[in-house]
Amino acid sequence: MSDRLILQQTQLNCECDSLRTQLAAAEQTVHELSQKCQQLETQISVDNSGIPTPGRSSVAQTSTETRSQPEQPTGNLDHHFTSRILRPTFLLRPSTRALNRSAMSSAWELWGDDTDIELLESNVCLNSDAYVSLANAFFDRRWPYLPVIHRKTFFDQHLSPFLANTAITNSGMGSLSNFMVNIVCAIASTEKSTQHTGDRDHRLFFRQAIKDMHLVMGSENFECIQCLLLLCMYGHNEPQSVNMWYTTGLALNLAIGIDIHRKESISGQDTKSAEMFKRVFWSAYVMNCSMAINMGRPLGIQESDISMPLPLQLTDSQLDESILSPRVEETLIPHVADTSTFIHIIDLRRINAAVYTTFHSIGSTSTEAAELDRLRSEYFVKLNQWIITAPRYMQTLSTFQSTEWFQIAFHHAVLALYRPSRAIPMPSQDDLQICAESAIGLISSYSSLYARNRIKYTFVAIHSLFMAAVTMLYSLRAFAPLRRELTKPVIQTNILTFLTLFRGICDGRAVGEKCCNIIERLGNSILSLFENENQADSNIDTEFQTWFGLQTHTFHSQGSELGSEIYPHPTSPQFPDVQVDMPWADLFTQGIDVGTADVWSVLF
């Protein structure tokens, strides 16, 4: 019995070793399979090779390609994509406040310390009618500006399955439908408050949408571009919730990556597919151009690199009919449901891009004054033709289809053309007169929209309104005859109108009060000149130049080697032959480093 016990204990030890070996092997197999699974997910998320071949699933294609790829990192790159997209557009770190910030537009000063309003985790609980109402509001109010999705396709492939609860969690299309529906409702909630939604429900929809961001980054490229552009549309209202610069650039680069900037990409396509390719590319162009100019950064694509034709002036219903009847003719009379507004916006952005390249681009070469005057006159003629040919609509729910909005866009473009720039840093009397008139025209158009409750908060609207106010006050400060022409009561009324618009449109946001404080301070300094024409406030003059991005490129007479010994008096021969107040003399005499001066933009 004793021998048998000893022998059996030896056998038990052998089995334990064997089991430990098997367990270790199983754990190694699980680890290897987990790595391969993560590699497949990573490859799907970063695969930008275009739309997969019909009949071949994305996963199968990725699996084949992965076999020949080197070992990939095990981290989930979807999270990195998402975290960058969801960063603030304007972010000021404490360490940058003391540095040369001339490379930043004035938007950083207004929104740089603005943080997103945190909400407690909550689910949106609406009935089907509320979702349909919000979707219709999106297509009626925001779609005319950027027609990135097709109405019937959205309702059939995304909203209907979402409402019928047929969106399967493990299905890519089903989860993408969750994102599409929630982000569309988030955008619509910023435009329309219904009995079902509150003022902050757009944030709740947005939080629901971004839960599926990793699936957006893993979707096919064309759908991914559409989703990114929808995010940017939401970012117009909440710039600190979406990194607009990164996201617009990503959308445009994905579009270029699948060659929809070239007309060859629509060869052989049916009318509906070809038109959606056009709409999505030009939407990416419009969004990227607007943000680049607004932030003083390079354009994402040059005009000479684009061969994709403009979209046809068709409605979504006509695109559906084109499947049965390929020969679809454009409508001559603009309709609220067609792309007439979008096409006209594209034309404006192309002019904006040309003006930016000529007058504001940091890499622009010096041009003769006569040539600059010729180009500016040419662009001014184009802008006047643009506003004359702007479409007119009998009835529309979209602010972007109103006469006032086209007037606002026109005045913004004129201000960008005549304001201080790298090419022409010192405006003439005529330039200042035009800037003042456009700024006042912009105020009038915004006031008209606000009086009818047709203007909603977007950061580009607030920024452009702010810079128009600064430009008007700058013109009054620099050109004394203009002050006498408008009179003090008129200027007071214009300033009060600006303040009313800021507070009304911002609806309690901190940025509205910040803009009001700045304009009120600058306005009071201008009004004080009526009592004392010779009064000079160097701090105010410096602040004007700071908003224009030019102040840091002037030489200061105090504590500088290039002080009063080199420029002893403002009557230097270098002083331009324009009537300006004495506080501007130091700026014009000492000069501006045109090669490195920054720009600000009022385009949106």
Q: Which helix (H) or strand (E) holds 2?
A: helix 2-46
Average pLDDT of the segment spanning 114-119: 63
Q: CA of 351: how far to CAs of 51, 76, 419, 527, in Å? A: 33, 42, 16, 36
Instruction: Name the residue type at position 464.
Output: S
- Listing DSSP states for 194-233 in one string gives -TT--TTHHHHHHHHHHTTHHHHHTS-HHHHHHHHHHHHH
> How much is the pLDDT for 583?
41
Could you give the number of structural domains in the chain?
A: 1
Domain assignment present for residue 470? The answer is yes
Domain assignment present for residue 569? The answer is yes
Place 600 in a pLDDT band, splitting at 50, 70 and 90. Answer: very low
Q: What is the pLDDT of residues 280-318, one digit of tens each?
A: 999 999 999 999 988 888 999 999 999 999 999 999 999
Q: What is the pLDDT of residues 483-520, one digit of tens each?
A: 888 888 999 999 999 999 999 998 888 899 999 999 99
- Listing DSSP states for 266-302 in one string gives GTT--HHHHHHHHHHHHHHHHHHHHHHHHHT---SS-
- Listing DSSP states for 125-145 in one string gives ---HHHHHHHHHHHHHHTTTT
Chain center to CA of 595: 26
Domain assignment present for residue 551? The answer is yes
> How much is the pLDDT for 360?
82
Domain assignment present for residue 466? The answer is yes
Place 327 in a pLDDT band, splitting at 50, 70 and 90. Answer: confident
E-only strand ranges, 69-175:
none
Q: CA of 453: how far to CAs of 93, 156, 495, in Å? A: 36, 32, 21
Residue listed under structure tokens 């454009």? 330
In angstroms, the CA 543 to CA 534 distance is 19
In angstroms, the CA 220 to CA 255 distance is 12
Given a cut of 80, whether residue 173 has pLDDT beyond it is: no
Which of 110, 111, 105 is closest to 546 using CA atoms? 105
Domain assignment present for residue 443? The answer is yes
In angstroms, the CA 512 to CA 505 distance is 8
Residues 602, 463 contacting (CB under 8 angstroms):
yes
**Total H helices, total E strands in the chain:** 24, 0
Domain assignment present for residue 430? The answer is yes
Assigned token pair, 322: 């084109």
pTM: 0.78
Considering the chain, what percentage of its residues have pLDDT values greater than 90? 46
Domain assignment present for residue 462? The answer is yes
Instruction: Name the residue type at position 319.
Output: L
In angstroms, the CA 265 to CA 277 distance is 8
Dihedrals phi, psi of 235, to nearest 5 degrees = -65, -20
Domain assignment present for residue 524? The answer is yes
> How much is the pLDDT for 366?
66
- Which residue range(s) make up the domain with 415? 402-604
Residues 293, 601 contacting (CB under 8 angstroms):
yes
Assigned token pair, 454: 């047709």
